[in-house]
Amino acid sequence: MGADFNPETSANRILALAGPTASGKTAAALALAREIPIEIISVDSALVYRGMDIGTAKPSASERRAVPHHLIDIIDPAQRYNAAEFVRDATRLVTQIHARGRVPLLVGGTLLYFKALFQGLDDLPAANPEVRAAIESEARLQGWPALHAALSQIDPVSAARLAPGDSQRIQRALEVYQITGQPISALQGSTRSSSLFSQTRLICLEPLDRAWLHSRIAQRLDAMFAAGFMQEVQALRSRGDLHLGLPSIRCVGYRQAWEALDGNFPLSELRDRAIYATRQLAKRQITWLRSMPERQVVSCDAPDPISQVLQIARSQLT
């Protein structure tokens, strides 16, 4: 434990660290763990899936032994997990970690989850398995573009911002309409938030030079392939119950590998396509970060970003 840590002034405080993929969040989190008695709450929509380790850059067994990690390996890839469930789980964990006299560290790159924590969730109905099953059955018969066209008749605002193949969001929009009789676009913006996170300020790892991040993305992807990423994807495919309609298989990297193995494009193109998709993900993450209020930016391509993260974290706990 670092000499700067004061358990009295740090009581009930929350730390939060975000950044685009490959920005160095894991290294910074582990450095914080050496200075402050933290427990990590993963804010990552891909790390929740069991059996998806290499392609998600999941913390290693030794890293997870070094500091408690939460919300990793909590569901099967055939299941779904959403922002409302994350907020529920993270809120429960923060309370439990505080009760143990430790500091929760929220760390990850799923900015929708951070936004839900800090700014509240849209006041939408819970998922209805029967309604969802009926929509999925209709999609198998007609295809998602046909359901997108149907959505445009009842909710043109939502349809205009969704691609015809965005099955997850089209399904949710149709589900909300069938449950409430109102378009989801009319209900969005009516939020509920928790005061638990009202004083939490986000520490953001962001690159000054986008080329630096692109290089890191390529290096990490090559390391994943060398570690057996394709064998991991093949193991998922061999189950027989997973498909591209699931959020797990639409994760960046997995989607491109799945499509290549389906024969949609040559395997020789997989690396370039996966790099491009990961760059696009990082671009969206940076855009989200820049919209977050009161974030504290650390240049992840600066000479010593971890020292800056530690300095900011200490200041937040005093």
What's the confidence (pLDDT) of residue 3?
A: 47
Q: pLDDT-derived band of residue 119, with 50, 70 and 90 as boundaries?
A: confident
262 phi/psi in degrees, rounded to 5: -75, -10
pLDDT digits (tens, 9 = 90+) for 284-312: 999 999 988 779 999 999 999 999 999 99
User: How many CB atoms are closer than 10 A to CB 80?
Assistant: 14
Q: How far apart are CA 70 and CA 73, in angstroms?
A: 9
Residue 190 has pLDDT above 50, yes or no: yes
What is the SS3 string spanning 22-47? CCCHHHHHHHHHHHCCEEEEECCCCC
What's the confidence (pLDDT) of residue 192?
A: 57
Residue 213 has pLDDT above 60, yes or no: yes
Q: How far apart are CA 80 and CA 280, in angstroms?
A: 23
Q: pLDDT-derived band of residue 283, with 50, 70 and 90 as boundaries?
A: very high
Q: How far apart are CA 168 and CA 255, in angstroms?
A: 14
Amino acid at 108: G
Q: How far apart are CA 45 and CA 64, in angstroms?
A: 18
What's the confidence (pLDDT) of residue 10?
A: 64
Q: How far apart are CA 26 and CA 43, in angstroms?
A: 12
User: How many CB atoms are closer than 10 A to CB 17?
Assistant: 26
Tokens of 193: 């938030």
161 phi/psi in degrees, rounded to 5: -100, 0
What is the SS3 string spanning 237-293? HHHCCCCCCCCCCCCCCHHHHHHHHCCCCCHHHHHHHHHHHHHHHHHHHHHHHHHCC
The DSSP code sequence of 64-93 is HHHS-EESSS-B-TTS---HHHHHHHHHHH
